[in-house]
Amino acid sequence: MSELRELYQEVILDHHKRPRNFGALAEANRHADGHNPLCGDRITVHVDVENGEIRGVSFEGAGCAISRASASLMTDAVKGRPVDHAERLVEEFRHMVTGPADAALEERLGKLAVLCGVREFPSRVKCASLAWHTLHAALAGGTGQVSTESPDPAHGK
Ligand code: ZN
């Protein structure tokens, strides 16, 4: 178990230091800003949606290692996927970090499972969830602002 934790830690640090899909996205047609005031994480997610598919996705902003790694992993996970697949991942990720441990879910989420450890640290759950809430807002609204401190009625959290 501690070996697994070390591996998880390495993946998180790697994505923090070398975030994937970081920067602006010229062809993006959806954008949302997310803010986690408790930690100071800020993120902007850009998405290029074409025919119900996420053709491109990127993020910008500044935040702690967990929030950056989560955003980086998120972009990798949804790029090239249908929008409804991404929305399902948003839900499943939320379940993983807020619910009880669920080995089947973690296996299904693959690499994203490196963030499952945050469930033991409620303040870190918001860092890990920020990119996903922001992606959800971008997909739902075109342009939007989300904060981890103003509940999204659709998610109850
Ligand atoms: Zn944070």
Burial string for 38-60 (b: 16+ CB within 10 Å, else e) reads ebebbbbbbbbbeeeebbbbbbb
Question: Model-level pTM greater than 0.85?
Answer: yes
Total domain count, the chain: 1
| Domain ranges, residue 142 | 2-151
Is 157 a domain residue? no
C-alpha of residue 112 to centroid of ligand 1, in Å:
17
**Residues whose CB is under 5 A from ligand 1 (ion)?**
39, 41, 64, 67, 127
Q: Does residue 10 carry a pLDDT above 70?
A: yes
Q: What is the CATH number of the domain that holds 26?
A: 3.90.1010.10
Is 119 a domain residue? yes
Q: Does residue 117 carry a pLDDT above 80?
A: yes
Is 113 a domain residue? yes
Is 95 a domain residue? yes
Tokens of 35: 């803010």
Q: Does residue 1 carry a pLDDT above 60?
A: no
Is 11 a domain residue? yes
Is 49 a domain residue? yes
